[in-house]
Structure 1
Amino acid sequence: MNSPAFRLPSPIEELHDERVRRHGVRLYLKRDDLIHPEFTGNKWRKLRYNLAAAKEQGHSRLLTFGGAYSNHIAATAAAGHHFGFETVGVIRGEAHEPLNSVLAFSTRRGMVLTYHDRDTYRHKTDADVLDRLRAQFGDFYLLPEGGSNALAVKGCAELPAEIDIEFDTVCCACGTGGTLAGIAHGLRKNQTAVGFAALKGGDFLVGDVERLQREAFGAVSSNWTVRTEFHFGGFAKRRGELDAFIDDFEARHGLRLEWVYVAKMMYGVFALIEQGVFRSGERVVAVVTGPDQSFSS
């Protein structure tokens, strides 16, 4: 089976916006959404070394977890299709027909779906739950929910070296903390990373980023922070203020921001520029980790 063609390194584009310019800040977009239609952004960076490990260990099946609208579920299904793995997606909640666009895409890419009620799902990594899954589906290579583990973090750590301009700060959205953990490790001295939590009560992400850095690199870096005030009500929740920002951004720049993660980050970046957190003369790179897409093909 032929491997898909990836656009790496992903492009860097300067964002020309008077709201940024009047504060003396230069803002760039790292367009990881353009890496590949089915492996956008941090999803491919997280998967690439896990797929190599699964192959080296002799696995023919990938199993992972996610919600019904999880882009990680879709990317894992695509990985199976393109790289010759069987795939199983364990979905939080009850089955619903017809399938939404993400799950329909995943099944078209060959993924077998199974469902766990929310109580079982909370214990998804317990030994007895995993044993039942192995009894049902056979042996598998386990990918964590969201794809973040030590190998995923190492993949994300490669991102800063792709940025061929001088910069001070990299910003990214945070769901599990893996992308932030990797990016921060890949930075040079005097560069920093800022993660924007996409879910309410995201203070726990600090501990998760620290754990992932220890697992991947053996130490925790001090060059990153997590902003938790731009969640707009919680994970996969939105408000009119965010929708208006997305519409305005598209009108100004011709790019429709993915709303669960990327738009919240971009809203936060503009807010921090307005507040003076990013000061005149700073060069900020915002990572666009996913597109506004419906998996219609």
Structure 2
Amino acid sequence: MTSEAPDLSRLQPVLPSPLQPVEDERFARHGVRLVLKRDDLIHPDLPGNKWRKLAPNLRAAAGRTVLTFGGAYSNHLRATAAAGRLLGFGTIGIVRGDELADRPLNPVLAGCAADGMTLRFVDRSTYRAKGDPAVLEGLLSAYGECCVVPEGGSNALAAQGCTELGRELRGAADMVAVACGTGGTLAGLAAGLAPSQRALGVPVLRGGFLGDAVRGLQEAAFGAPAGNWSLDERFHFGGFARTTPALHAFADDFERRHGLPVERLYVAKLLYGLTELAGEGAFPSGTTVAAVVTGRPQEASDSSR
């Protein structure tokens, strides 16, 4: 096992990621210009915020086995497993739901296993308590020394990694919007933007304490709140990994209009929310809004985290 930080540059990430203007009358008729920050093009196996959040964590792991957490359709687990294969370190995925242990693996988990990730399925009460030191120690006892990365990859290192996203967008938009699961991308994005810019998070969860999570991550990463950011929780389609026919219809329509398939948990919910906000006059005429494309459709369009 190596004790040196992996050289992520040999994976040839596309950085800075491209900025793509989109002509869409749902924004244009309100005097709003939409551009897409194509973070989905950073790397085929570690796209978007997965790259930005994982990269600093992998450097800190320095070749040790990485143990992390996610649901059955976790893009975070999938990206971690792919990174392990590409860079030559071990990976362990703690998966929510012990009822899945005796079922055939879905495409996301099958991909994790094919990339060498050890999968351990735990009951939901254990998963909820994964932050408890005693529970975590019990999970770690079977695997020896590991570097633990939290669910969604969101910790202080991840927030620091996402500041570069904000820096890449300085001067490119008045407002930068991103879909939020665990809050790490928004925490770093806001810190990296110029003082005149605003970051907007569109949560994929209904309610909860995401604002507290973002503030906590910023305190851990930067020692204080950072940047101008807010959350808009009005436009949801239900629980964390839930989609509806209406959301799929919106995603299909966006692809027909612009030739861009969108991931339907995060990106489609973000774009739908921005469309509704534009219709309600939330953005003054002349505003340029940048939407961060954090992921893309993969084996399962309802992928979570």
Classify the TM-score, shorter chain: over 0.9
Q: Does residue 67 of structure 2 align to residue 63 of structure 1?
A: yes
Kindly provide the amino acid, as one letter, of the partner of residue 291 in structure 1: R
* Structure 1, 96-105 or 272-281: larger mean CA deviation: 96-105
- In the alignment of these two chains, the number of paired residues is 291
Residue 163 of structure 1 and its aligned partner are, at CA, apart by: 2.8
Runs of 4+ in 1 over 4 A off after TM superposition: none
Q: Spell out the pairing of 1:251-262 with structure 2 (5 A cutoff).
A: 251-262=256-267
Secondary structure of 1:6's counterpart equals coil
The alignment's TM-score, normalised by the length of structure 2, stands at 0.92
For residues 86 and 115 of structure 2, what CA distance do their matches in structure 1 show?
A: 9
Q: Does residue 104 of structure 2 align to residue 98 of structure 1?
A: yes
For residues 11 and 289 of structure 2, what CA distance do their matches in structure 1 show?
A: 31
For residues 166 and 87 of structure 1, what CA distance do their matches in structure 2 show?
A: 37
* Structure 1, 88-97 or 136-145: larger mean CA deviation: 88-97
User: What residue number does 1:84 align with?
Assistant: 88
Does the CA-based 8 Å contact 1:167-1:191 persist in structure 2? yes
Residue 164 of structure 1 and its aligned partner are, at CA, apart by: 6.7
Q: Which of 42, 49, 70 is the equivalent residue of 2:56?
A: 49
Q: Does residue 298 of structure 2 align to residue 293 of structure 1?
A: yes
Residue 271 of structure 1 and its aligned partner are, at CA, apart by: 0.8
Does the CA-based 8 Å contact 1:60-1:84 persist in structure 2? no
User: What residue number does 2:241 align with?
Assistant: 236
User: What residue number does 2:115 align with?
Assistant: 109
User: What residue number does 2:203 align with?
Assistant: 197
Q: Supply the RMSD in Å over aligned alpha carbons.
A: 1.5
The alignment's TM-score, normalised by the length of structure 1, stands at 0.94
User: What residue number does 1:284 align with?
Assistant: 289
Deviations 1:50-79 (A, max 9, x none): 111111xxx520000110100000111111
Q: Which of 168, 172, 177 is the equivalent residue of 1:166?
A: 172
User: What residue number does 2:27 align with?
Assistant: 20
User: What residue number does 1:120 align with?
Assistant: 126
Residue 96 of structure 1 and its aligned partner are, at CA, apart by: 4.2
User: What residue number does 1:245 align with?
Assistant: 250
Secondary structure of 2:11's counterpart equals coil
Secondary structure of 1:77's counterpart equals helix
Q: Does residue 225 of structure 2 align to residue 220 of structure 1?
A: yes
Kindly provide the amino acid, as one letter, of the partner of residue 116 in structure 2: G
For residues 198 and 65 of structure 1, what CA distance do their matches in structure 2 show?
A: 18
Deviations 1:133-153 (A, max 9, x none): 222111100000000000000
Q: Does residue 273 of structure 2 align to residue 268 of structure 1?
A: yes
Q: Identify unmatched segments of 5+ residues in structure 1.
A: none
Deviations 1:65-104 (A, max 9, x none): 1101000001111111112210000000021432111111
Kindly provide the amino acid, as one letter, of the partner of residue 239 in structure 2: G
Deviations 1:106-149 (A, max 9, x none): 11111000011011111112222222222211110000000000
Question: Percent of pairs identical after alignment?
Answer: 55
Q: Spell out the pairing of 1:148-163 with structure 2 (5 A cutoff).
A: 148-163=154-169
For residues 83 and 127 of structure 1, what CA distance do their matches in structure 2 show?
A: 29
